[in-house]
Structures are given as structure tokens and as C-alpha cells.
Amino acid sequence: MDNNTIRDRIRGSLIGGAIGDALGYPVEFIYSFGDIQRRYGRNGITRLDTHQWWLEEDNGNGKAVVSDDTQMTLFTACGLLNAKAENEPFMPSICKAYIEWLLTQTGKKKKGYDKCWISNVPELNVRRAPGNTCITSLNDILRGVDPINNSKGCGGVMRIAPIPLYGATADRIDIQEVCKLAADASELTHQHPLGYIPSALVAYVIYKLVKDEAPERETCKDYIREGLKVIAELFPNYPEEVKRFTTLIKTAILWSDISTDDVRTIEEELGGGWVAEETVAIAVYCSLAYFDNFERAMIASVNHKGDSDSTGAVTGNILGAAIGYDAIPQHFKDDVELHDVILHVADDLWRDKTTEFLNKK
């Protein structure tokens, strides 16, 4: 595949995830679709909201803000790149990057945690509804204590897209290793098997889409089914969890073929997306139902009473990897916060090298 196509797909996945995150963030804590309609109209939220009415802050830049989902995704990318620069394994480097993110949330500094240039970006030094499990687990790690929890929240899966994007480029990492690395990165903070197994599936699908010259809906469906078989092989000690997750994903595939009501399907058949397996099921449903219409996929992925920013983010990561940056509607790209930073990080993943960011505004 042409190198520039790979670059476009990496950009598409990261920007797509940020768009889904920013579209869903204003309605994340609106607990019924009816209330979303009362604020945004009959079809719910359909454009990025640049007014920041739900935040105490106002950055004054006229952009739709991203949440902790995009913040942590960018730190995942920096962790991967720092591993190469520092000649260390991926997992310790990713963990250190997450600690750097934690420090941006507290305003503290700690010696040895200063490798991620994005830590100096102002928008990444504000709290955007960070997950309690992530904060608690990373604080434990920082104190030298192994985190112990049974969380299967979606805070692990919403941040792993850079891993398959990096691994797929020039075949840097084998696909099964990518799946395992994505799960391990999630398990740092979310230790229920269903808190990290779904990350392996998302990683598999993104990896395959990035390397597919002309992905189509049916081939995407095939990648999802293949990925389910791979996770069964990777996690043989958790047959019940894998079975439960597989059943839910197959339900999402089925409904993507027959649903006539996105809100009902998501809320009644797939869940709220607060836990990882539901987040991925909703992302699978929306990606397949609207594989050829990024905008409609984004709208469907966030207009429900659940964890809208995370379901939007994972949907955007998947579809963006399939269609690439250039195919994403311009109005989304114009209105999303950190656009230039995200593109720079995407290009660094493509290059396998951290380069100087010269376009700070």
C-alpha cells in the first residue's frame, strides 16, 4: 500500500476518534435521549458544539473540546514513540506516558516523567472528566503500589488506537502482538478481563483496516469476526468472558443489518457503553450500520443515554482508520480542538519518530 495512504489512515483514525469524543462529550452526562433532544433538537446533537456550556472552563478558541479520551489517546501515542527513542520496551514507556497524563490532571511535576512534549499543551493540562479508575490506578502505580481493581469500565479501550496504527505501519509489530499490547495497556488501569479483552478486538480491526487498500463494509465485518477468534486464542483462561463479549459483538453485527432505530438498538440491545464490551459493541454497530457515511455513524454513536464520548471516540477510531483523514467531512475537522496537535502526533506515529511541533497557537 502507498505510504501516503497509510499516513492518511493514521490521521483519519486519530482525528476521527477526537471528533467522536468531542461530539459526544457535551451529552455524556445527559441521561436520556429525550433530554438530548430538548437541548439539541429532534435529531439530537449532530454538529460539534463549540459553546462549552457544560464546562466551567472556557478556552475561548471557538473549538469543540475533547475529553480525557483524546488526552489519553495522545499519551498512548507518545508512549509508543518514547519507547523507540529511549530504547525500552513498549509497556513501561506507555505506563510512564500515562503517569505524565496523570500529572497534567493534578498540576504536579515529578522527576523522570517529562518525556512527552504534549504535556506542555495547555488543553492537555485541564481536567476533562477523567475516569476515577484511571486516576486511582495511576496514582497507585506512581506510589509504587500495584493497582488492584475489578473494573471493566471503558477507560481502557478508549485510548488504545495508536497501538494498532503504529504496529500496522511498515509491519512494525505483528498483529497478535499488537492485540496483546493493546490489552496490556488497558489492563494497567482496568483489571477485569472484560476491561481489557475488548481492546484486543478494537486493535485487530483497526490494524486490518489500516492495511486494507479499499476496505468495504463486508470486509470490515469479516475483520471483526476474525478478531473474535483471535481473542479466544489470546485469552484461553477467560472462556466465559470471551463468550459473553463475542455474543454481544455478534448481536451488534446482526442489528447493524436490520435496525431501523439507532437509539432503541443501542440502549435496549447493546447497553450504555459505560463498560468496555458495550462501548465496543456500540462502535461496531455504528461503524457497520453507516460504514459509508462517517457523519451518520458519528451521530448514531453519541445520541444515547450512555457514555457518549467514549462510544463516539471508538467509532471514530475504527471508521477513520477505514476511510482516512481526507474523507472526513471538513466541518468536523474545522471545529475540533487540538486538530493540529493530533495531526502532528499522527504523522510522528507514521514516521516512527517524535518531531518538533512548530504550529502552536
Phi and psi of 196, rounded to 5°?
A: -130, -25
Instruction: State the Cα–Cα distance between residues 349 and 12, nearest whole angstrom.
Output: 13
Q: How many CB atoms lie within 10 A of CB 91?
A: 15
Contacts of 348 (CB under 8 A, 6+ apart): 77, 81, 354, 355
Q: How many CB atoms lie within 10 A of CB 230?
A: 17
What pairs with residue 153 in β-bridges? 275
Annotation: binding site: 67-69, 307, 309-310
Residues in the chain: 361
Instruction: State the Cα–Cα distance between residues 199 and 76, nearest whole angstrom.
Output: 13
Instruction: State the Cα–Cα distance between residues 171 and 155, nearest whole angstrom.
Output: 27
* All three cell numbers of 333: 475537522
Instruction: State the Cα–Cα distance between residues 163 and 166, nearest whole angstrom.
Output: 5
Q: How far is CA 270 from the centre of its chain?
A: 18
3: amino acid identity, one letter: N
Instruction: State the Cα–Cα distance between residues 321 and 54, nearest whole angstrom.
Output: 30
Q: How many CB atoms lie within 10 A of CB 320?
A: 33
Annotation: binding site for Mg(2+): 67-69, 307, 309-310
DSSP string covering 250-282: HHHHHHHHH-S-HHHIIIIII--SSBHHHHHHH
Residue pointed to by grid coordinates 471557538: 62
Instruction: State the Cα–Cα distance between residues 245 and 333, nearest whole angstrom.
Output: 33
Q: What burial letters (b/e) apply to 324-341, b meaning 16+ CB within 10 Å?
A: bbeebeeebbebbbbbeb
